[in-house]
Amino acid sequence: MAKRVGMEVSIAAAEAVKQANVDVISAYPITPQTHIVEHLSEIVANGEMDAEFFCVESEHSAMSVCIGSEATGARSFTCTSAQGLALMAEMTYIASGLRLPILMIVANRTLSAPLSIWNDHSDAMMIRDCGWVQYFVENGQEVYDHVFISYRLGEDRNVLFPVIINMDGFVLSHVIEPIELIEQEKIDQFLPPYQPLYQLHPDKPITMGAFALPAIFAETKKAQEVALRSSMPKILEVWKAFGDMTGRYYQPVETYKAEDAETLLVTMGSIGETASVAIDKMREEGRSVGLVKIRLWRPFPFDELKRATLHAKQLVVIDRAISVGACGPVASEVKAALYGDDQRPSVYNFVAGISGRDVTPSDFTKMVDKAEIEIEEGRKDGYEIYGVRE
Amino acid sequence: MIENLNVFAVRTLTQKEYFAPGHRSCQGCAEALAVRLVCKALGRNIIIAAATGCMEIVSSPFPFTSWKVPWFHCAFENTAAVASGIEVGLKVLMRKGRIPQKKIVTVGLAGDGGTADIGLQALSGALERGHDFIYVCTDNEAYMNTGIQRSSSTPFGASTTTSPAGKTKMGQITWKKNMAAIAAAHNIPYVATACPSYPMDLIQKVKKAADIQGAAYIHILSVCPTGWRSAPDLSIKLGRLAVETGTFPLYEVEHGRYHLNIDFPKLKPIKEYIKLQGRFRHLTEEMIEEIQTRITHDYEQLKERDRRGF
């Protein structure tokens, strides 16, 4: 029987990295990611894990070390936040272009300036197009589970992509939650050692990282794009296999009381749990509301999102980042997913909870109220930053 | 002694080429020669992590490659970090029995821009962590790949596209960064300077670096006819003149102990070296004298270190 214990989510993440038999860990400290690397250092220092741990001199090098080690065939891990992710952004594109299945946990934090260590999704959105498989998880259990899921998925020869687990900084990283730990034997069965398709070794010399002239670049990039889109069935398959092992089944898009709802809240990340409390309350008041939570961010689950939302009259999409000069990035994606259908719901977009500002159940209710009135009055594609003092 | 050795001993080198001919480097490129010699010295059991730059761009236009050894390129400023990753990856995979135990030398290969400028932080980190690898900087004294822009390794007075000789400024106004000394300051076991005009010396140093446990840094002066505005057939001669004038002395720092490999009772005047290069043609007699004074001073300082041993 799996053990259910209370632990900080960052500790659970580190324990998962240990249980996943990671070979190389390379990271640089940044709040709020620090507890993960601290605990991993302890684990390695105590000999509880046979891995090479390097606390390097920058995030750029952390990712570069992972790229080098992964290219030799070693299972590699890093984690970061905000400015650290910005510094390693260059290398994230290269890791996916070279098809190296590294795992990175991003404890999401606001990008400077002004400097702020608190949580939102501006860091993740900065590297949205980096070509990794990317999810936003909702709680500590999902963080722990997705370490195993990510390696099994990324290392699959039909996938071969690096994976990012986005978890909200502080809100998840520093919170103690009950985590159901999986027995090691089960994990070893679910996640066998990495068998790389290509690896750097003198016995079979290969050139990795050649440059492409315009005559071949587009073909190379299309191959990557097709491969990432085609990984969707594999993602579903791995989630299914994991569900069969643990009873916890994950979906690209999850719904809560959404089937018959006229108004749907759309969220990503840990605020989904708070939003569900608001939904319960509004339902008690007899309102026709529901919740759609996007877990898989890349490849974007267009079909799943449409299935979950097309019946509704209106969507209230909550973004936790701003594409300055445009709107929220999740809303852009949702609108794009729905645009091909004539009978599509209106999309009202709120940016809320940036830089760790609390979004309470009553805030969700207020946003739904506002959106319903605005749409009723004809302003069908509203966009605003919620709760700003003016 | 070493000069006589150079005349004949190159014929004793392996006929095998690991950096294959047919790459696209310019005529008279001494950097390509340096890389070829480094590969010959190390043999096939190596993995190269290369920086973006001339040697990357001439050797790897997909789907072609000049590399007969495993070669990995990913970016410009992180060669030492990528090499660190390769080194630890091999180490852990061997320890866990996933690949057979075998000596594989990890080599970082970057130019002067990728080393002394944008890659300095990653290099310092890797040297400080003490990875067992060789870092080779092939120094052609400017960003040649992007069109001859100045780097911190460009010598004083040299005209480049971003330190042009103009009406008020006479080319590069700063002195060449001493990368070998910076590497040595990390207290790594082995640091050396080399030049492909002295092939046996270069090869011996690379072999020594491969045998040493821990990080080794080799700084190779690589004459670039395109950027130096020199005749392609003078590349070997210019490399020799760089050494004979004291502009680029050949020395080693083993566990902190300095050793000058070739000394000259009397250095040739730097004018002999400078006059063969178009990048210096605007220099006045006074500027040449200023450079001569600095070179003589630096050389004397190096000789003093050689005498003292540290």
Residue with tokens 């891990």: A77
Instruction: Specify burial of residue B60 (Cβ count, 10 A radius: 0-12, 13-18, 19+).
Output: buried
Residues 35-94 on A with a CB inside 8 Å of B are 50-52, 54, 56-58, 60-61, 64-74, 76, 90-91, 94
Taking the mean position of all CA atoms in its chain, how far away is CA A258? 22
| Two tokens, residue A273 | 């749990």
pLDDT of residue B309: 85
Q: Among the three residues A207, A222, A246, which one is the final residue of a domain in this structure?
A: A246
Cβ burial A104-140 (10 Å sphere, 16+ → b, else e) = bbbbbbbbeeeebbbbbbbbbbbbbebbbbbbbbbbb
State the CATH architecture for B2-308.
3-Layer(aba) Sandwich (3.40)
Domain assignment of residue A390, yes or no: no
pLDDT of residue B11: 80
Q: Residue B89 and residue A69: Cβ atoms within 8 Å?
A: yes
Domain total of chain A: 2
Please give, rounded to a whole number of angstroms, the shortest distance from the CA of A52 to a CA of chain B: 7
* Interchain CB contact of A212 with B (< 8 Å): yes
Smallest CA-to-CA distance from A290 within A363, A342, A353, A364 is with A364
The answer to whether residues A235 and A314 belong to one domain is no
Phi-psi region of B157 (alpha: psi -120 to 50; beta: other; left: phi over 0): left
The answer to whether residues A134 and A175 belong to one domain is yes
Please give, rounded to a whole number of angstroms, the shortest distance from the CA of A47 to a CA of chain B: 14
The answer to whether residues A217 and A106 belong to one domain is yes
CA atoms within 13 A on the CB side of A292: 31
Please give, rounded to a whole number of angstroms, the shortest distance from the CA of A111 to a CA of chain B: 23
Cβ burial B171-202 (10 Å sphere, 16+ → b, else e) = bbeeebbebbebbbebebbbbbbbbbbbbbbb
The answer to whether residues A355 and A260 belong to one domain is yes
pLDDT of residue B153: 98
The answer to whether residues A215 and A293 belong to one domain is no
pLDDT of residue B207: 98
Please give, rounded to a whole number of angstroms, the shortest distance from the CA of B125 to a CA of chain A: 6
> For residue A241, what pLDDT band results from cuts at 50, 70 and 90?
very high
The answer to whether residues A140 and A276 belong to one domain is no
Partners of residue B23 in chain A, C-beta under 8 Å: none
Is pLDDT at A319 greater than 60 in this prediction?
Answer: yes
Domain assignment of residue A122, yes or no: yes
CA atoms within 13 A on the CB side of B1: 4
Rounded-to-integer distance, Cα A40 and Cα A78, Å: 11
| Two tokens, residue A67 | 């790229």
Domain assignment of residue A11, yes or no: yes
Q: Residue A202 and residue B69: Cβ atoms within 8 Å?
A: yes
Q: Residue B65 and residue A207: Cβ atoms within 8 Å?
A: yes
Q: Residue A23 and residue B67: Cβ atoms within 8 Å?
A: no
Angle of the B120-129 helix axis to the A59-72 helix axis, nearest 10: 70
Nearest to A61 among B44, B81, B89 (CB): B81
The answer to whether residues A361 and A237 belong to one domain is no
Q: What is the dihedral of CA B3, B4, B10, B11, to 10 degrees?
A: 170
Partners of residue A204 in chain B, C-beta under 8 Å: 70
* pLDDT tens readout for residues A282-317: 999 999 999 999 999 999 999 999 999 999 999 999
A241: CATH: 3.40.50.970
pLDDT of residue B10: 77
- A191 φ/ψ angles, rounded to the nearest 5 degrees: -130, 85
The sign of the torsion formed by the CA atoms of B258, B262, B265, B266 equals negative
Domain assignment of residue A29, yes or no: yes
Partners of residue A26 in chain B, C-beta under 8 Å: 85
Domain assignment of residue A101, yes or no: yes
Q: Among the three residues A219, A246, A273, which one is the final residue of a domain in this structure?
A: A246
* pLDDT tens readout for residues A249-276: 999 999 999 999 999 999 999 999 999 9
pLDDT mean across residues, chain B? 96
A361: CATH: 3.40.50.920
pLDDT of residue A23: 98
Please give, rounded to a whole number of angstroms, the shortest distance from the CA of A41 to a CA of chain B: 15
pLDDT of residue A314: 97
Helix ranges (DSSP H) in B133-196: 179-184
* Interchain CB contact of A215 with B (< 8 Å): no
* pLDDT tens readout for residues B172-228: 999 999 999 999 999 999 999 999 999 999 999 999 999 999 999 999 999 999 999
pLDDT of residue A1: 60
Please give, rounded to a whole number of angstroms, the shortest distance from the CA of A305 to a CA of chain B: 36
pLDDT of residue A290: 98
> For residue A369, what pLDDT band results from cuts at 50, 70 and 90?
very high
Nearest to A205 among B62, B70, B99 (CB): B70
> For residue B3, what pLDDT band results from cuts at 50, 70 and 90?
low
The answer to whether residues A257 and A312 belong to one domain is yes
Smallest CA-to-CA distance from A220 within A212, A228, A229 is with A212
Range of A347's domain? 253-385
* pLDDT tens readout for residues A102-149: 999 999 999 999 999 999 999 999 999 999 999 999 999 999 999 999
Mean pLDDT of the region B48-72: 97
Residue of B nearest to A65 (CA): B85
Task: Please state whether the predicted TM-score (pTM) of the whole model is above 0.90.
Answer: yes
Q: Among the three residues A204, A224, A246, which one is the final residue of a domain in this structure?
A: A246
The answer to whether residues A83 and A201 belong to one domain is yes
> For residue A213, what pLDDT band results from cuts at 50, 70 and 90?
very high
Give percent of chain A above pLDDT 70: 100
CB atoms within 10 A of CB B297: 11
Q: Residue B98 and residue A213: Cβ atoms within 8 Å?
A: no
Taking the mean position of all CA atoms in its chain, how far away is CA A322? 17
Smallest CA-to-CA distance from B142 within B218, B81, B229 is with B229
Is pLDDT at B5 greater than 70 in this prediction?
Answer: no
* pLDDT tens readout for residues A156-202: 999 999 999 999 999 999 999 999 999 999 999 999 999 999 999 99
- DSSP, res B104: -
> For residue B18, what pLDDT band results from cuts at 50, 70 and 90?
very high
* Interchain CB contact of A241 with B (< 8 Å): no
Residue of B nearest to A206 (CA): B70
> For residue B9, what pLDDT band results from cuts at 50, 70 and 90?
confident
The answer to whether residues A101 and A144 belong to one domain is yes
In this structure, the strands spanning B134-139 and B190-194 are unpaired
Smallest CA-to-CA distance from A235 within A295, A183, A185, A167 is with A295
The answer to whether residues A196 and A329 belong to one domain is no
